[in-house]
Structure 1
Amino acid sequence: MSNVMTYKGYSARIEYDDEDSILFGQIAGIRDGVGFHADTVGGLRAAFHEAVDDYLETCTKVGKEPQKPYSGKVMFRVSPELHRKAALAAELAGKSLNQWAEEALARAVK
C-alpha cells in the first residue's frame, strides 16, 4: 500500500483525518504551500491533479518559475570520521565521492 501520489513530476504524501473523515495531501518538495483534500480516493486523485495544474497555471500567470521538486544537489554535514571513511571507500572503488554517495543513497532508498 502506498500513501504517495505522483503527477507531472510532483509528489504528495496522503493522510487521513478521522475527525473530519477526509483524505488530504500537500505537494511535497516545494516551498509554496499547495494542499488538497477529498472524501474518496478517486476524488483525492482528481484534486491532486487539479492542485498541480492550478499551481503551474498560476505560476505562468504571475510570471514565476514553478518550483521543481528537487534540483539534484544535496548538501549535508557528516562527522569528519565518516567523511574520511566514505572518501576512502569511494577511492578504493575507483569512483568520485559524489558517484559513491549517489549509489549508497540509491541503495538505501530502495
Structure 2
Amino acid sequence: MEYKGYFAKVEFDDDADIFHGEVINLRDVITFEGETVHDLRAAFHDSVEDYLEFCAERGEEPEKPYSGKFLVRVEPELHKLLVIKARKKGKSLNAWIHDTLHEVVKANTQNH
C-alpha cells in the first residue's frame, strides 16, 4: 500500500480476524488496522495524516520517506572491483551503481 510517498506492509491476524499494517519507509512508527481492506486503507490514510498533523503541531518537518541517499558497506576488494567497472564505463562509482540498480529493478519489475 502507498499513500503520499509512505509505503506500508500488511499482515492478517487469523486469530483476531483483523489486518495489521505498518509504514515501512520511516524510522518513526506508524501503525494501523482494519477488519476489511476498505477499513485498512482508510486507517492507513488516517494514520499518515495524523503523523503529518502531529509533526506540524510540533513545528517539525515530517521524516521524508526517502532522501535519495543510502550507505552500503562492502569489503575493500569488492569496492575496488566496482570502481574499476565504473571507470571502464566512463562513469563515477555513484553513477554506475545508480544505473546498474535501475536496470536490475526495471528488469525485475518487467518480469513480475
Common topology (TM > 0.5): yes
Q: TM-score if structure 2 supplies the norm length?
A: 0.88
Correspondence 1:43 to 2:15? no
* Structural mapping, 1:88-107, within 5 Å: 88-107=84-103
* Structural mapping, 1:11-90, within 5 Å: 11-90=7-86
Counterpart-to-counterpart distance in 2, 1:92 and 1:55: 46
* Gaps in structure 1 of 5+ consecutive residues: none
Alignment RMSD: 1.2
Q: TM-score if structure 1 supplies the norm length?
A: 0.89
Counterpart-to-counterpart distance in 1, 2:50 and 2:20: 17
* Gaps in structure 2 of 5+ consecutive residues: none
Native 8 Å contact 1:30 1:69 kept in 2: yes
Q: Secondary structure at the match of 1:78?
A: coil
Which structure's relative contact order is higher, taking Cα pairs within 8 Å and 6+ residues apart?
1
